[in-house]
Amino acid sequence: MKSLKENFQQAHIVIIGSGIIGKFNALELSELGFQITIIDPAQLQNSSNAALGLLMGNMYQKRRGRSWDLRKQSIELWPKWITFLQKFNYELNIEKPLVQLTTSEEKFEKLKRFILTFNDLNLRILDKESIIIKNINKAFHTKNIKGIISLKDGRIDAMTLLKTLDKYLKLKNINFVKEEIIKIRKSNKQWISTTRKNENIRSDMVILCNSLKTVDLIDGLSHKIKLKPVLGQAIEVDINDAKVDLLSLPKQFSINSKNIIPTSRNKLIIGSTDEYSTTPEENTFEKLTNFLDKQPSWLKEAKISKKWYGIRSRPIGEPSPIMKNLEEGLIICTGFYKNGILLAPACSKWVANEAKNYLS
């Protein structure tokens, strides 16, 4: 009798879309022994390349339901995947901790209640005499900043992660097709994905990870799924004030829901916005730097050195993400309008189990 892995080696899976979700699915499925083809016409222009890479697993206050289950699983899976992926890039790492700050007394009371309710030893209320709060107050000229620290949450550099996955997929000889799929159909138990150049790619299974465009591919198959675009913008700014050392601040933190990542003594990344739009506006700087009633002059006078955005997809009428078996051999795993980087390990584990059940 053939082993499961031998069986899988004969099965061919097509993954449509090569953002973090498509690539992570390819990693997990290829480790199981499946033959994988990833198809994407523009793998560098997706929302995964725009992500800041914050892994807010424990800090999110919702601690029940599917979203918590996925976060909890991902929190457990990430360290294992990091150890595995470090064989391909030893620099890949999760920088910890993550700090969440607010100037709102009401929000802080809510954070405190959350920490006391769940009694999670990795989540702590920051003392106002702590070095973190003191340094933030000094840099941002504030007096009323309060917050919490999560020792287990952190940040993975999204570009480094994607490049590491590329390295793995190349070494594993995963087939990559730089084309757009315009149609999928089933014929004699096989799926046929048709490219814009009218080439047909046959497979035993198709996994849809192509965000907003998923809808176009399944419309003809009469599945009712709706997704709307969510624009996320981020900036990197240069500051010009010798008295401020941004490296004295935590490596990643948020103030009033804006995420801040100091990258050098005088450079900061700030992100991201959430707008139901597909076109970035001109006033990104104002939108991203208005997280305090009174900005320090170094921030007001900062100059944008880089500006970028990504368009994510948010399901309408159902929770994010959409993970479903649409029909035999057709899986949808998309609609990650946020937390796609965080959730990739848990979602690809679910996809792998579905593939194993269907193809073994």
Ligand X SMILES: Cc1cc2nc3c(=O)[nH]c(=O)nc-3n(C[C@H](O)[C@H](O)[C@H](O)COP(=O)(O)OP(=O)(O)OC[C@H]3O[C@@H](n4cnc5c(N)ncnc54)[C@H](O)[C@@H]3O)c2cc1C
Contacts to ligand X by CB under 6 A = 16-22, 39-43, 46-48, 50-54, 180-181, 209-211, 213, 232, 234, 271-272, 310, 312, 334, 336, 338-342
Q: Are 165 and 40 in contact (CB under 8 A)?
A: no
> What's the sign of the alpha-carbon dihedral 52, 58, 63, 65?
positive
Question: Which residue's CB is nearer to ligand X, number 54 or number 249?
Answer: 54
CB of 308 to ligand X, least distance (A): 7
Which tokens sit at 152? Answer: 């287990």
Angle among Cα 291, 295, 300 to the nearest 5 degrees reads 110
Rounded Cα–Cα distance for residues 137 and 131 (Å): 10
Single-letter residue type at 359: L
Supply the DSSP string of 56-102, one letter for each residue: -SSSSS--SHHHHHHHHHHHHHHHHHHHHHTTT-TT---B--EEEEE
Question: Which residue's CB is nearer to ligand X, number 37 or number 47?
Answer: 47
CB of 44 to ligand X, least distance (A): 8
Which tokens sit at 158? Answer: 């999204």
Question: Which residue's CB is nearer to ligand X, number 46 or number 150?
Answer: 46
CB of 27 to ligand X, least distance (A): 13
H-type alpha helices, 206-360: 214-219, 284-289, 297-300, 340-359
CB of 67 to ligand X, least distance (A): 13
CB of 254 to ligand X, least distance (A): 10
> Per the omega criterion (within 30 degrees of 0), is the bond before 345 cis?
no
Single-letter residue type at 59: M
CB of 4 to ligand X, least distance (A): 27
Question: Which residue's CB is nearer to ligand X, number 52 or number 244?
Answer: 52
Question: Which residue's CB is nearer to ligand X, number 75 or number 234?
Answer: 234
CB of 21 to ligand X, least distance (A): 3
Rounded Cα–Cα distance for residues 152 and 94 (Å): 10
Question: Which residue's CB is nearer to ligand X, number 48 or number 103?
Answer: 48
Question: Which residue's CB is nearer to ligand X, number 139 or number 341?
Answer: 341
CB of 47 to ligand X, least distance (A): 4
CB atoms within 10 A of CB 316: 10
Contacts of 317 (CB under 8 A, 6+ apart): 226
How many angstroms separate the Cα of 239 from the Cα of each of 143, 273, 291?
A: 22, 21, 17
Question: Which residue's CB is nearer to ligand X, number 272 or number 289?
Answer: 272
